Structure 1
Amino acid sequence: MAPVLSRILASASLIPLPSSSPLVLQKTHNKVLNSRISFCPPNGVPRNWPKCNIGKKFHRRRPTKLSVRCDAAVVDQEAPEASGEKYEYQAEVSRLLDLIVHSLYSHKEVFLRELVSNASDALDKLRFLSVTEPSLLGDAGELEIRIKPDPDNGTITITDTGIGMTKEELIDCLGTIAQSGTSKFLKALKENKDLGADNGLIGQFGVGFYSAFLVAERVVVSTKSPRSDKQYVWEAVADSSSYAIREETDPEKLLKRGTQVTLYLRPDDKYEFSDPTRIQNLVKNYSQFVSFPIYVWQEKSRTVEVEEEEEPKEGDEKPEGEKKKKKKKKTVTEKYWDWELANETKPIWMRNP
């Protein structure tokens, strides 16, 4: 007797989740094949065999859902907000600022690159805005950056003739960590397509200025905006959680336009970063291709001729009424201080062929 073979294809059903659950993967089978095949010997069915169907039978089944379930799917609704009083996070600003500065910069010397970049951005802003407001330029001179190291007092001063800042901008930009005036300016430029946006603007994160505290124990910022009649001074000390702003009243310290940043260097850094030669090399390394001229206060030497009075010899003595000293010229080396252009080398793509 030939055996009877049967084969059944069916899909196993799992416990379905609600259709609204975000973690249910649903797949509907339009057709499920249920095939039952039976064979009988050609000479008939024995009496002791159960009756069987000869042929194939196909029928449709109702669509089923293939569900995938995990523990997180048991919650259909979002968790409600925590009840009770709400409080804002508190932070020790001085400690937070120290962490930000020292985690972003591994070398102290990059402070100069950041401050020069800020000065370049201020000049760029003035140049853009002067297209529609020529009066902003005034008579404050050329667009330039000047760096003056002072070895005697252990300071370094970076001055630009850029757009400057008002009192409100000082509070907004320097009084708020990670608040970038450049990023706001870029956003305004994108909204006003007549001016166009310049990708050369660098300071978009609002922390570059604070790199000054890598080498300085006190920072003083004096700034004058062409849109304001007053000049303001921002001052802060390292490891402090506060700063001070006052109006500048000393006539000798007034600026026509722009910003002046003075760093009072730490004892361990004053000899290195108040050295004019060191500053000159840093400008060439980090800011060589800034589009505005950068001048560094340098000690120079020159050869000059001076007259020296020569005492008469013993044999050449004349009567007292006729005695005169002879004058002799000699060459000496004289030292003096003057501004020197530090970024005179232009990038290859800007040079004349």
Structure 2
Amino acid sequence: MTKTAEQTAESHVFEADVARLLHMMVHSVYSDRDVFLRELISNAADACEKLRYEAIETPSLLGADAENRITLTLDEESRQLAVEDNGIGMSRDEMIEALGTIARSGTRAFMERIEASKAAEGAQLIGQFGVGFYSCFMVAERVDVVSRRAGTQEAWTWTSDGKGSYSVSPATSLTEAPSRGTRIVLHLMEDAKQYTARWTVERIVKEQSGHVPVAIRLVEKPGKEPVQITDGTALWTKPKSDVSKEEYTDFYRGVSGQYDEPALTVHFRAEGRQEYTALAFIPGTQPFDMFDP
């Protein structure tokens, strides 16, 4: 199986914008490295949400594993951090499209803004242009992504050191690939080994991703039992009286990718012929592209 995978491995070169972006991620947005974990968790939650929508039409996609979750696995000895979800997963073509190219039209504006800004401001812009995944190269010398599209048997591996190229090949061991969803394994740099410490990772998750509507579990080391660190309860489903100002601010920052305070928070539940809950924020600062969308 391994020999076959090696024979069929495909090498690709990042498109020009991605290569340029990766260089800036490492050299310009270096001051707030914690942001990479928020972005990976956000992507994992999006994958779970996409599966939920597709499963409405095709319930068989869920199989016997209907509960969405995100699992973080720490391996201090090997200096690795893994972020795994059981969401929709990716096929080979989806993997190349999602991880090898940037299709968002605002990417060039993002890169120009980073080049002209201070590092701290650049970190605030990550996540607004669909480029959050690439922030993992701020802390990783190599990234392996193993994914299996829900409802399929094939699993694929994407590997890159973030220096200009990546490879895609069939997963060498289908039993080690997720039954569905995606596992991202970060081979951390020497000066980023703190991201294998439980207290560091747990602090970042609770500060920046505590309100992600998918339960997050933490495995302190390979072979240990997972411990749930967030319950996946969406903030807007909680009574207003049970939510603190700090929780609203953390949630606002998580969904907006900003680091300012919301100027106004609106949270209410309407009941009548239709019932719904609304949670809205007005940012404290105007977006940089407000007059040039």
Q: TM-score higher than 0.5 here?
A: yes
- Paired AA for residue 144 in structure 1: R
User: Aligned residue for 1:283?
Assistant: 205
Q: Aligned pair 1:298/2:220, yes or no? A: yes
1:274 to 196, 205, 222: 196
- Aligned pairs for 1:79-228 (under 5 A) are 91=16, 94-100=19-25, 103=28, 106-176=31-101, 178-179=102-103, 205-228=129-152
Relative distance call for 1:136 and 1:236 in structure 2 (3 A) is: same
The answer to whether residue 199 in structure 2 is matched with residue 339 in structure 1 is: no
Shift of 1:175: 0.7
1:255, distance to aligned residue in structure 2 (A): 1.9
Query: 1:91 and 1:249 mapped to 2: Cα distance?
Result: 29
Q: Which residue of 1 aligns with 2:282?
A: none
Structure-1 separation of matches of 2:236 and 2:18: 44
Q: Which has the higher helix share?
A: 2
**Cα pair distance change 1:162/1:105, threshold 3 Å:** farther
Deviation at residue 109 of structure 1 after TM alignment: 0.7
SS in 2 for 1:337: coil
> 1:7-27 CA distances to partner (integer Å, 9 max, x unpaired)?
xxxxxxxxxxxxxxxxxxxxx
Please provide the CA RMSD for this pair.
Answer: 2.6
**Alignment correspondent of 2:183:** 260
Gaps of 5+ in 1: 1-89, 181-201, 300-335
User: 1:235 aligned to 2:122?
Assistant: no
* Residues 101 and 173 of structure 1: CA distance in aligned 2, closer, same or farther (over 3 Å): farther
1:169–1:347 CA distance, 2 compared to 1 (3 A): closer
The aligned length equals: 204
CA distance in 2, matches of 1:126, 1:203: 21
Q: Relative to 1, partners in 2 of residues 1:99 and 1:211: Cα closer, same or farther, differing over 3 Å?
A: same
Aligned-partner Cα distance in 2 for 1:163–1:263? 21
> Counterparts of 1:166 and 1:154 in 2: how far apart (Å)?
28
Paired amino acid for 1:112: L
Assess if the C-alpha contact under 8 Å between 1:101 and 1:207 holds in 2: no
Residues 221-274 of structure 1, C-alpha deviations (whole Å, 9 max, x = no match): 000002432100000013x2110000013144132100000000001111x111
Moved over 6 A (4+): none
- 5+ residue gaps in structure 2? 1-14, 105-125, 242-293
AA at the equivalent of 1:269:
A
- Against the structure 1 CA distance between its residues 217 and 100, is the aligned structure 2 distance closer, same or farther, given a 3 Å change threshold? closer
Q: What corresponds to 1:303 in structure 2?
A: none
In structure 1, what is the Cα distance between the partners aligned to 2:143 and 2:178? 18
Do the aligned partners of residues 229 and 169 (structure 1) sit closer, same or farther apart at CA in structure 2, a change above 3 Å counting?
same
Flag the structure with more relative contact order, 1 or 2, with Cα contacts below 8 A and sequence separation at least 6: 2
Change in Cα spacing, 1:337 to 1:244, as seen in structure 2 (3 Å) is same
Equivalent residue for 2:171? 248
Q: Deviations over 1:277-326 (max 9, x none)?
A: 21111110111001110001137xxxxxxxxxxxxxxxxxxxxxxxxxxx
Task: Give identity over the alignment, percent.
Answer: 37
Partner of 1:64: none
TM-score normalized by structure 2?
0.63
C-alpha distance in structure 2 between counterparts of 1:298 and 1:96, whole Å: 32
- Where 2:190 maps in the other structure, the secondary structure is coil
Structure 1 length normalisation: TM-score? 0.53
For residue 262 of structure 1, what is the amino acid of its counterpart?
Answer: V
Q: Give the residue type in structure 2 aligned to 1:294.
A: I
AA aligned to 2:153 is D
Larger Rg: 1
Cα distance in 1, alignment partners of residues 17 and 215 from structure 2: 39
CA spacing shift, 1:125–1:138, aligned 2, 3 Å: same
The answer as to whether partners of 1:108 and 1:215 remain within 8 angstroms in 2 is yes
